[in-house]
Amino acid sequence: MRPAELDRLTVAEAADRYVELVRARTVTGALSSSTAEVYARDVATLVELAGADAVLDDLTGADVDALLLAFARRPDGRLRSPSGGQSPSSQARFRRSISALFKHATLAGWVQINPMTASTVTSKERGGLRPQRRALTREQAQGLIGAARTLGDVAPPEGKRRDQRTELRDAVIVLLLATVGPRVSELVRANVEDFFTNDGVRYWRIFGKGGRTRDVPLPDDVAAVLQEYLARGRA
């Protein structure tokens, strides 16, 4: 149930209260600390774009549209050419972050109506995919996966130190990403002991966001390349 009285907070005051709440959720394990910091960073950007002294309840759907477009056009310092604006994934993340804030604001009585429901700007208007971010074609993807599957049968290259032989490692990375579909962060955090065998089936215990885990069975050909990598691909 919504509060009876509206609390007319400024954008800065609402942001401070919301970020404090988000960081408190890391204590219970509801959010990871890295996710909480992403929310905090996006909310800080909202304050910068909207103005710290603006009243949160005064923001309309048109204002939200303007904020989304302003964020999309901000230079991305991680890119070599910062003039291109934010990537589509960064834009989508920012929208999710401020949507979560306004959803809480509606329940907490900081706004009468959630302005996100009146936002009309589309992803295409925010910028869309850049040409250099196009995906592989089906044929290219199949060729990449096929090459990775055959690397387990290839003899290690001569003239390279053991720690320089990354072919099997790269094959395992491609196959796990393509067949299991983990987050890249989940793959990077994987340890040898996270891969185990149960009743003849090889599993990967994935440690996900918020401390959640899931055991995913690996296809036989992926498990075979993984075993080759563990046997002769690691120092």
The fold of 138-233 is hpI Integrase; Chain A (1.10.443)
* Domain spans in the chain, listed from the N-terminal domain onward: 11-130, 138-233
Tokens encoding 57: 């309840």
Residue 156 to residues 8, 160, 163, 230, Cα–Cα distance (Å): 67, 9, 12, 13
| CA 104 – CA 111 distance, rounded (Å) | 9
Taking phi over 0 as left and psi of -120 to 50 as alpha, with beta for the rest, 199 belongs to left
Spatial CB neighbours of 164, under 8 Å, sequence gap ≥ 6: none
CATH of domain 11-130: 1.10.150.130
pLDDT digit of tens for each residue in the chain (235 aa)? 455 577 889 999 999 999 999 999 988 888 888 889 999 999 999 999 999 999 999 999 999 999 999 999 888 766 554 456 888 888 999 999 999 999 999 999 999 999 999 888 766 665 554 444 567 788 888 888 888 888 766 665 666 666 666 788 888 999 999 888 899 999 999 999 999 999 999 999 999 887 889 999 999 989 998 998 888 766 5
Report helix, strand or coil for 215: strand
pTM: 0.54
Question: Across the beta sheet with 213-217, what order do the strands follow?
Answer: 195-198, 201-207, 213-217
